[in-house]
Structure 1
Amino acid sequence: MSGWEAAVRRMYDVFGHVTRPERMDGCLHCVEPGPERPLLAGPVGSIEAAALARYAAKALNTWGGVAEFRYFLPRLLECAAADAFVYPDPEIVFGKLASAEWRTWPDEERDAVTGFLSEWWHETLRRHPVHPSMDTVVCALAATGMDLAPCLQAWSRLDTDAAINHLYDFVQTGLSGQRLTNAFWDRRSAAYRQLLTWLTGGPAAAAVEAAFAAETREPVLERLAAIHPALLPSP
């Protein structure tokens, strides 16, 4: 079993104690009575993404509270990490963790969520191409309120082709000057400043320079050279 598979299984194990709701109240103008019945008819892990998508969009806002959110959490995060919902986007779903104040939950639950988020990052970093994109993944992780420092430390090693290609792609599509382009970023957040400082404040440029010095393959050298100027700190 891979680390990612183990992290997913642990989420189901840890949150398996959460009591199944008998009903889920929602805003009368937004959710008609009874739409939760198909979601509560069987095991959480068997819920189809298409059936769960409406709840994923409305959870904690106009449909259900934290108790219901914790009940569905393993399947919600599993589907969102696979970008299995047509809507909502992963950034929205993972952002609901912050709304639910997950870092105040019991230790075992916090550890399971942290392990899931960490393994999602490493699973993304080790493969290229991926879906959802690195741009989506890092923004979704930031939306949870987690510290991005361990993620950026791992990315800084640039010790695989996948890590280099992810940085190349991000510079092309996720970064514009001194701004991150994903519309879901909270530009006032600590995570936004943390990632932007890593990208344009020197650390990413230094990582590229170290990777360039250790590399011998011409195509990889060209790719590193292409992104280096965009990562240099502003004069």
Structure 2
Amino acid sequence: MSRPVAEQADERLDQAVGTLYATFARFELGPVAGCPHCVGEDDQREIRRAPLRELTGEDLDHYAFKAISTWGDADDLRHFLPRLLELAAHGDLPVDVATVVGKLRLARWSRWPPDQRDAIEAFAGAWWRRTLTIFPAPDDAATVLRAIGQAIDDLSPFLSAWLDPPTELAARHLAAFVDELAHSIRRRPTGPVLPGWWHDQPAQLLTWLARPAVRNTVENAFFDASSAPIAAEMSAAADQLAWLPPPGP
């Protein structure tokens, strides 16, 4: 991937993060009520240790795990959300990113005002695009897409972006995802094919993976591979794509 494309992805992510901070700035930090059995005084001090933009993943990891369920409400989440998502996008939050993004569904973010929803969706798109320009990334494409899927049901815009443009780095993420999926199917031959995804997303993913464009991307990446190990990744992915099960009804 050319350096300008990666730089553009970084810039777009920075802009999306800036929009998050601007959009949610109205939610100032007040008392954040928590379950006394789950949240202690030390935990409360950690989330107030520094200004929002200076809080670290270690400062926020306990809150990120407990938010909404046993610590704070939707407005509290909106205060911390820009920093939580910024840290998640850079791999600086110890909590699993799917857990963090999943708090949005618990907070019923789909009912939030349009400017707040737009800021979150723009961030998700920028985070995804940036992920596809880095390999290895702070979190691989499968992990980021699974996280995004905790809040956004329709993954088709993100799947389309995976092949636009069909770069070697994006293809390597795709090969890794196919490998992960193949191993998941082998481990759970009679159970869910894609555990950890939401509603009909497994069928959506399998339908997309069955498209000729996906196989063509992998095959072209094999022929254009910049090294023998990368060609081997693509060869294995092409073989695995050939026996993936069709999407369910």
TM-score norm. by structure 2 comes to 0.80
In terms of mean alpha carbon deviation, does 96-105 or 198-207 score higher?
A: 198-207
C-alpha separation in 1, matches of 2:96 and 2:203: 22
Instruction: Name structure 1 gaps, 5 residues minimum.
Output: none
> Which of the residues 129, 138, 150 maps onto 1:122?
129
Question: CA contact under 8 A between 2:132 and 2:170: conserved in structure 1?
Answer: yes
Give the whole-Å Cα distance in 1 for the aligned partners of 2:184 and 2:76.
Answer: 41
Q: Give matches, 1:189-200, under 5 Å.
A: 189-200=199-210
Summarize the alignment of residues 16-165 of structure 1 with structure 2, pairs less than 5 Å apart. 16-21=25-30, 23-33=31-41, 35-40=43-48, 42-86=50-94, 88-157=95-164, 159-165=166-172
- Identity of aligned pairs, percent? 32
- The Cα offsets for residues 192-228 of structure 1, whole Å up to 9 and x where unpaired, read as 321232224655325435x369848684655433311
Quick one: distance in 2 between partners of 1:79 and 1:153?
Answer: 26
User: Which digits, 9 at most, give the CA deviation of each residue in 1:125-174, with x for residues without a partner?
Assistant: 12211111222111111111342101111213462110111112222234
SS in 2 for 1:193: helix
Distance change (3 Å), C-alpha of 1:218 and 1:51: closer
How many aligned residue pairs are there?
231
Q: Distance in 1 between matches of 2:203 and 2:173?
A: 20
* 3-state SS of paired residue (1:50): helix
What is the RMSD of the two structures over their aligned residues, measured on CA atoms? 2.9
SS at match of 2:47: helix
Picking from 21, 33, 38, the partner of 1:12 is: 21
- Residue 105 (structure 1) shift: 0.7
Seen in structure 2, the aligned counterparts of structure 1 residues 180 and 70 have a Cα distance that, compared at 3 Å, is farther
For residue 175 of structure 1, give the secondary structure of its aligned residue in structure 2: helix
User: Structure 1 106/227 Cα, relative in aligned 2: closer, same or farther at 3 Å?
Assistant: same
> Letter of the aligned partner of 2:206 in structure 1?
L
Q: 8 Å contact 1:12–1:74 — kept in the other structure?
A: yes
Report the AA paired with residue 92 of structure 2. Answer: A
- Residue 83 of structure 1, CA deviation: 2.8
Whole-angstrom distance in 2 between the partners of 1:11 and 1:179: 40
TM-score in terms of structure 1 length? 0.84
Report if the CA contact (8 A) 2:149-2:197 is conserved. Answer: no
